Chains A and B, each alone.
Chain A
Amino acid sequence: QVQLTESGPGLVHPSETLSLTCTVSGFSLTGYSVYWVRQPSGKGLEWMGRMRYNGDTSYNSALKSRLSISRDTSKNQVFLKMNSLQTDDTGTYYCTRGPMYTTDYYVMDAWGQGASVTVSS
C-alpha cells in the first residue's frame, strides 16, 4: 500500500527555517519522484519542487532562493527546508508521488495527509 506521511513542526517563527520530512512506504524513492505542494489556508495549490528518482531536484523559481529538497533513500525519506519564512508561508504542506519519467501522464496519484504550518511570533 502506497503511503506518504509528512512530519515537522506546526509552528515556525518569522524569519526562521521550516524543515519537513516526507516518509514514504509501498514504493521506492529510486523508482519514483516526490513533489512538494503547498496550500495557503483557504486558497489554491502551489507546486514547490521535486526530488527525482535519480536524486535530481527542480524548484519553483518563485521559491528557489529559499528552498532545498533532499532525501535519504535508506530511510525512505524526502526532506524540505525553506528559510526566511513569513506569515504568508502559513498553510498546509503536502508531499505527493510522481512518475519516474517526466513524459508519464500519471502524476500525483498518492498524497500525504498534509502538514499544517503556522508562521507566527
Chain B
Amino acid sequence: DIQMTQSPSSMSVSLGDRVTITCRASQDIGNYLSWYQQKPEKSPKLMIYGATNLEDGVPSRFSGSRSGSDYSLTINSLESEDTGIYFCLQHKQYPFTFGSGTKLEIK
C-alpha cells in the first residue's frame, strides 16, 4: 500500500499567518492527490484536487503544490473559519490511502 506521511500533526497559528501542510508519498502518485478539510462532527470537504486544482467555492487563499513526492497545502492569510483537520488522499492506486491528518487551530 502507498503510505502518505503527513506533517505536522497539529499546529497553532495566528490569524493572518501563512500555513503549509505537507504530505509525502511513499511511491509515485503523479498528481492523484486531493486535500480535504474536516470540521468537528462534519463530513470531510474537498478543497484541492489533482494536487493543484482549487475546488469550486473554496477561497483563493488556499492552494496546492507538488515538488517530487512532496505535496503541500498552503493557506495564505489564515482566517478563523479555516480551523479544522486537514487530510490528504492519494487515489493513484488501490487501496486509496489518507494522510494521518493535521489539526489546525488558532493561537
Residues of A within 8 A of B (CB): 35, 44-47, 58-62, 94, 96, 102, 105-109, 111-114
Contacts and interface: CB of A to CB of B under 8 A. Distances in A.
Contacts of B34: 105, 107-108
Query: Could you tell me the dominant secondary structure of chain A's interface residues?
Result: loop
A119 to B, nearest CB: 20
- Of A59, A62, A107, A113, most B-chain CB atoms within 10 Å: A107
B50 A105 contact: yes
A35 B34 CA distance: 15
Contact of B43 (A94, A105, A106): A94
A109 B48 CA distance: 10
B46 A105 contact: no
Contacts of B95: 47, 58-62
Contacts of A111: 43-45
- Of B34, B36, B46, B95, most A-chain CB atoms within 10 Å: B95
